[in-house]
Amino acid sequence: MTRKDFFAKVGFGAAVVLVPTCIGGLASSCSGEDEGSPTPAPTNVDFTLDISTGTLAVNGGFLVHSGIVVARTNTGEFLAVSASCTHQGTNVNYNASGNKFICPNHGAQFNSTGVVTQGPASSNLTQYNTQLTDATHLRVFS
């Protein structure tokens, strides 16, 4: 057996073993069932953010802090919901033009208070309170 023949047979053998496993993994990852393990929503939340700079200094900006998405709407209001999508745990993003949260993984959508408006998620995000403590600080709390 030549070296070329050996590597050809070993490579083909590995492909025969691995390809079905890879295809099975891809098929199950998009099945739409709640098979992931989303991170539980944070509890006993109470933190303060500086909103004088960064993404929260402008309308439409958002950030993730301590497992919570904090967003500033186009009208300047602040929103806070749990960051982990209730479908499979991917962090949601804030969409300022639609005033909603969207999971980039499978497209689940939640309104500004975290209520599911489009699956595959079937549970709401947890909503948190926000309060301006002064002109440059935002308190987020349970």
CATH number of residue 50's parent domain: 2.102.10.10
Q: Do the domain assignments include residue 38?
A: no
Q: Quick one: what percent of the chain has pLDDT higher than 70?
A: 74
Q: Do the domain assignments include residue 126?
A: yes
Q: Do the domain assignments include residue 114?
A: yes
Phi, psi of 40 (to 5 degrees): -60, 150
Q: Quick one: what percent of the chain has pLDDT higher than 90?
A: 70
Claim to verify: residue 60 and residue 25 sit in the same structural domain: no
Claim to verify: residue 53 and residue 111 sit in the same structural domain: yes
Claim to verify: residue 2 and residue 62 sit in the same structural domain: no
Q: How many domains does the chain have?
A: 2
pLDDT band at 31 (very low <50, low <70, confident <90, very high): very low
Q: Do the domain assignments include residue 40?
A: no
Which distant-in-sequence residues (6+ apart) come within 8 Å of 113 by Cβ? 79, 81, 127
What pLDDT is attached to residue 39? Answer: 83
Q: Do the domain assignments include residue 68?
A: yes
With CA atoms as reference, report the closest residue to 77 among 141, 126, 138.
Answer: 138
Question: Looking at the chain, which runs of residues are DSSP E strands?
Answer: 46-50, 62-65, 68-72, 78-82, 93-95, 100-102, 109-110, 116-118, 129-134, 137-141
pLDDT band at 34 (very low <50, low <70, confident <90, very high): very low
Strand partners, 50: 137
Claim to verify: residue 14 and residue 56 sit in the same structural domain: no
What pLDDT is attached to residue 26? Answer: 42
Claim to verify: residue 16 and residue 50 sit in the same structural domain: no
Claim to verify: residue 15 and residue 77 sit in the same structural domain: no
How many CB atoms neighbour CB 107 within 10 A? 13
Segments forming the whole domain that contains residue 54: 46-141
Encode pLDDT of 42-68 as tens digits: 999 999 999 999 999 999 999 999 999
Claim to verify: residue 24 and residue 55 sit in the same structural domain: no
Q: Span 76-102, mean pLDDT? A: 96
Does 2 score more than 50 pLDDT? yes
What pLDDT is attached to residue 64? Answer: 96
Phi, psi of 22 (to 5 degrees): -65, -45
